[in-house]
Amino acid sequence: MSSAEKKQNDLEAAKARQLMLRTALGYALAIAIFIVLIEVGHSSLPPYLFPSTTQILSNTVEALRHDWLDLLLTVVRLIFALLTATLLGWLLGLLMGAFRSSVGLVAMPILSILQAIPAASWILVASLWIAEPEIRVWLICFSLGLPLYAISVYEGVRDLDGELLEAVEQFRPTKWQVMYILLIPQSFVYLLISMRTVSSLVLRVLVFAELIGASTGVGARMSDAQTNFDMPMIFAWTVIMVVLNFAMLWLIDIAERYLLSWRREVAIR
């Protein structure tokens, strides 16, 4: 390795460490602001309406100690719903982009209608139609995530560089070869980008679905806390869900850095 390359690698490593430090400071500042707001709310309202930070933390430990199975069940439900919605949504969006005059023409109106249906409607209808709680919760999350993934991948395929497509078509490839060479790599970028927002949205809807249509999971435990007017426990489960969401986004960041390492990140100076 030459001295210039070594210097460039050291410079990139220093920039990465600086970015990590700024990110950590940003999160620390956000947590400090929320702690201050919680303490202000606790001092301004009755304790049974707004618990203190210490009460929330103690209830968080208690929830993790006694109800960890419900948390695990929620995580398993989330993973299964996201995996199925991501895989089928990516496949459908890819086919829509490759066969726009057939698959895209038929699927796009259907996905638009599904996307316009409120999450509350899915929850209420599934609760009345489906007796099995696991299928009920999965269907709600799957129906919410599938259109978002499929449309995101479809728009990504449509955004393909026309000049690049023309260059590849000079070799007279088949439709499936074009999909393998161009469309699939292009779709991964938009799929990973959409995973950030869709996964967080699915997590929130999953907890809401458990609250209404299941007797197990984090949502069911939050429903019990609401019935008992246990505000510290409601705040505790909220903290756990926020941490779970950050852990999920962290895993997505790792996957994005690994799968999209070829993409150069541009920053405005």
Residue 114 and residue 6 in one domain: no
Residue 96 and residue 26 in one domain: no
Residue 218 and residue 102 in one domain: yes
Mean pLDDT score of the chain, rounded to an integer?
85
Q: Is the pLDDT of residue 244 over 80?
A: yes
CATH number at 112 reads 1.10.3720.10
CA atoms within 13 A on the CB side of 51: 18
Q: Residue 148 in contact with residue 89, Cβ under 8 Å?
A: yes
- What are 163-219's pLDDT values in tens digits? 766 776 777 777 777 777 777 877 888 888 888 889 999 999 999 999 988 889 999
Residue 26 and residue 68 in one domain: no
Chain position carrying tokens 């699915």: 202
Number of folded domains in the chain? 2
Residue 29 and residue 55 in one domain: no
Q: Residue 214 in contact with residue 220, Cβ under 8 Å?
A: yes
Residues counted in the chain: 269
Residue 213 and residue 84 in one domain: yes
| Count of C-beta atoms within a 10 Å radius of residue 41 | 13
Residue 164 and residue 69 in one domain: yes
Domain range for 31: 1-44
The pTM is what? 0.83
CA atoms within 13 A on the CB side of 121: 8
Question: Is there a domain that residue 264 lies in?
Answer: no
User: What percent of the chain is modeled with pLDDT above 70?
Assistant: 88
Tell me the CA end-to-end span of the chain in Å, nearest whole number.
29
d(CA 168, CA 173): 7
Question: Is there a domain that residue 128 lies in?
Answer: yes
Sorted by sequence, the CB contacts under 8 Å of residue 173 that are 6+ apart come out as: 181
Residue 61 and residue 162 in one domain: yes
Question: Is there a domain that residue 266 lies in?
Answer: no
CA distances from 19 to 1, 25, 202, 257 (A): 25, 10, 29, 14
